């Protein structure tokens, strides 16, 4: 795997976009495959990429190194479901070296939890300190319907294993109109009694699916107003580096996050970019403009071409997205599924 770097090699390395935002957070997808088929994320019959198109683990590691050398301080590993990628712990072990050297501040993971019981201890030993678990319901039947094939008990066992390993767990809930909105209050109490923050996310118009995005969309302004009938919500400046805005619940002491790409976008302070498992760099989740990093990565053993491609791409990062879900605009904002971009 790639070499480690010294802090001295980071001089004059910061990536800054045209709007003056330092890009210090990279979400790296390691696979487009997933063992679930969540109804708001993927079509039930998905066609996945041929393995030859995916970056190898060594190439993913080299790509991460290039970003660290250019000022990245946080890397989130995503998918698909990242823990189904064969040999994925090799990448985590290599990234742990950057954590130990102080050239990287944090490595985190977004997962559906299905493989957490297997990997939680090893993740902790690699320096991962917190994980996000996507979980939209605590009802086994409803969970099966949303994921189309998931086992809720396996996810809950994974969460238990993560906490035993010392990982902080945050629960991510996609708010789905007419599907899970009756569960939000009990899910908050369940999460907070286990010392887990919980974040609600508006459904995003990415990729063609069988259902209507308009029918799925539940504005978080409505969700927050309903929660305020049950809880005392105190504004807080708590941040984790992502787009969520948090409130603290007076009755439980726990945190509730709100990610609102539609009712109130989070673009003004965006410090993030996303790299797919094929080496495609997306500067904005809501735009199709992208940069091919796989070609320069494979064209030379050195990183000059790769670094130039990254800098050229960041110079095109837009100010924000224009997501819209309405009866007048029922199609996806972009054609790719969320599983392609990596959350």
- The verdict on whether residue 34 carries a ligand-binding annotation is yes
- The verdict on whether residue 273 carries a ligand-binding annotation is yes
- The verdict on whether residue 38 carries a ligand-binding annotation is yes
Q: How is residue 22 annotated by DSSP?
A: B
Cross-sheet strand order for the sheet of 280-282: 233-235, 245-249, 255-259, 197-202, 168-175, 130-134, 106-111, 74-78, 25-29, 272-275, 280-282, 290-292
- Helix, strand, coil share of the chain (percent; to 5): 35, 20, 50
User: Judging by beta carbons within 10 Å of its beta carbon (0-12, 13-18, 19+), is residue 151 exposed, middle or buried?
Assistant: middle
- The verdict on whether residue 272 carries a ligand-binding annotation is yes
- The verdict on whether residue 224 carries a ligand-binding annotation is no
Angle (CA) 7 9 13, round 5°: 100
- The verdict on whether residue 267 carries a ligand-binding annotation is yes
Q: Which of 44, 13, 25, 5 is nearest to 209 (CA)?
A: 44
- The verdict on whether residue 64 carries a ligand-binding annotation is no
- The verdict on whether residue 126 carries a ligand-binding annotation is no
- The verdict on whether residue 97 carries a ligand-binding annotation is no
> Cα separations (Å) of 205 from 190, 212, 217, 232?
29, 10, 9, 31
Exposed e or buried b per residue across 169-194, where buried means at least 16 C-beta atoms within 10 angstroms of its C-beta:
bbbbbbbbeebbeebbeebbbebbee
> From the annotation, which residues make up the binding site for S-adenosyl-L-methionine?
40, 80, 134, 204
> From the annotation, which residues make up the binding site?
27, 34, 38, 40-41, 76, 80, 110, 134, 170, 204, 267, 270, 272-274, 284
> From the annotation, which residues make up the binding site for GTP?
27, 76, 110, 170, 272-274
> From the annotation, which residues make up the binding site for [4Fe-4S] cluster?
34, 38, 41, 267, 270, 284
């Amino acid at each position: 795997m790639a070499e480690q770097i010294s802090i001295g090699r980071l001089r004059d390395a910061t990536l800054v976009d045209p709007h003056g935002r330092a890009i210090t957070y990279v979400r790296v997808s390691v696979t487009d495959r997933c063992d679930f088929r969540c109804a708001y994320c993927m079509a039930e019959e998905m066609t996945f990429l041929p393995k030859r198109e995916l970056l190898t683990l060594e190439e993913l590691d080299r790509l991460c190194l290039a970003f660290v050398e250019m000022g990245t301080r946080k890397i989130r590993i995503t998918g698909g479901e990242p823990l189904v990628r064969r040999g994925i712990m090799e990448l985590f072990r290599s990234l742990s070296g950057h954590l130990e050297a102080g050239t990287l501040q944090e490595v985190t993971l977004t997962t559906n939890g299905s493989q957490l019981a297997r990997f939680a201890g090893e993740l902790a030993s690699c320096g991962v300190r917190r994980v996000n678990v996507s979980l939209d319901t605590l009802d086994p039947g409803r969970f099966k319907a949303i994921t189309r094939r998931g086992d809720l008990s396996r996810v809950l066992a994974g969460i238990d294993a993560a906490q035993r390993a010392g990982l902080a767990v945050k629960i991510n809930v996609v708010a789905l109109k007419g599907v899970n909105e009756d569960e939000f209050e009990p899910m908050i109490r369940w999460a907070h009694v286990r010392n887990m923050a919980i974040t609600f996310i508006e459904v995003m118009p990415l990729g063609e699916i069988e259902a209507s995005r308009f029918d799925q969309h539940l504005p978080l302004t409505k969700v927050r107003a309903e929660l305020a009938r049950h809880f005392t919500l105190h504004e807080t400046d708590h941040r984790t580096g992502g787009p969520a805005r948090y409130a603290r619940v007076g009755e439980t002491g726990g945190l509730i996050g709100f990610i609102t790409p539609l009712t109130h976008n989070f673009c003004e302070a965006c410090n993030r970019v996303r790299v797919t498992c094929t080496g495609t760099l997306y500067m904005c989740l809501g735009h199709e403009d992208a940069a091919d990093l796989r070609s320069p990565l494979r064209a030379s053993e050195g990183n000059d071409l790769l670094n130039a491609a990254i800098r050229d791409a960041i110079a095109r990062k837009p100010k924000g997205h224009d997501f819209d879900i309405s009866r007048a605009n029922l199609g996806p904002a972009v054609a790719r599924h969320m599983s392609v971009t990596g959350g």
